[in-house]
Amino acid sequence: MAKARILVVEDSKPQADVTKEFLERNAYEVIWARDGAAAIKAAKTMSLDVILLDLVLPDISGNEVCRWLKLNNETKGIPIIMLTVKSSLKDKVASIEAGADEYLPKPYNEVELNAVIYAALRTKALQDELRQRNKQMEELLARVELLAITDPLTGLFNRRHFEVILKQELTERKRYKYDIACLMIDIDHFKRINDSYGHEAGDLVLRDTAQLLKQSMREVDTIARWGGEEFIAVMPRVNRDHAMEPASRMLHAISDKSFDLIPAEKITVSIGIACAEPGRETLETLIGAADSALYEAKRLGRNRVAFAPKEGTSEEAGN
């Protein structure tokens, strides 16, 4: 096992040498700092297990050094044992208030000092273990949370999380009056791919299509797997006039792709687009309009984009 590393902060070299010799006899690695500034630098740049800190230093007081170290996230976990000739209750209270973990008067008893150091190391080990477990728990919870909102096959958001995001976007739209485009996307003749080549090929098409669709969008846009071979996307601050450009990128990205396992097959998608507007400002009405536009794109021959008509018009969907 590695030796515990102890920083001795002492302006008197003879006293530091005595302490250093005692600690090294007890199998500790010892670093010496002559003043407060050197102590702070050592604590910031080195891995330390315990600090033995003199109260009276030539530049800044030991209490100020202690206070700084305990307020710094990188050093606050290092146990600090104050060693000083000042043994009044007032001095001891001041050091404890500054953050010292223990306070021993000089001249110290070597047995007592060794016991205090051992107790500090034991406490630090338990705290380090607790921090590590907390970190592992946070990472586990983050993974669980990600799994709860992610489609396991494509890595996109799942339907439930998409609905949460779309509701938030619609709420923000009411407040800030910006445009929103909703895209419903379906892989054409996907059942034939599964029936002819098997589910492994079908899963490959779903995964690759998901990534191509995502790459065709902006970072502020959100795309999710809606179910089966259907995907859904929301594009904030995109109106009807500007929605065609990303939709066209999606069409070409998919149709130009040569999919592994089925390189001879041409895969295409159909896309329905609806934009939020008066009369179409809820999750249900917006998604329903995009879904209707998708069916219109399929009716018109697939591998195309169709728009939902504006509310209150008899306009036919088209690309």
Active site residues: 229
Q: How far is CA 8 from CA 77, 87, 141, in A?
A: 17, 19, 40
User: What value, to the nearest 5°, has the Cα angle with vertex 182 and ends 177 and 183?
Assistant: 160
Contact, 307 vs 273, CB < 8 A? yes
Query: Which amino acid would we find at residue 181?
Result: A
State how far the Cα of 270 lies from the Cα of 299, in Å rounded to an integer: 10
Structure-token pair, residue 248 = 């066209």
Q: Are 48 and 4 in contact (CB under 8 A)?
A: no
Strands (E), the chain: 5-9, 29-33, 50-54, 80-84, 102-105, 180-187, 222-227, 230-236, 269-275, 305-307
Pair 250, 212: CB distance under 8 Å: yes
Q: How would you write 173-213 as a 3-class SS string?
A: HHHHCCCEEEEEEEECCHHHHHHHHCHHHHHHHHHHHHHHH
Owner of token pair 């159909």: 270
| Helix or strand holding residue 123 (H, E) | helix 110-149
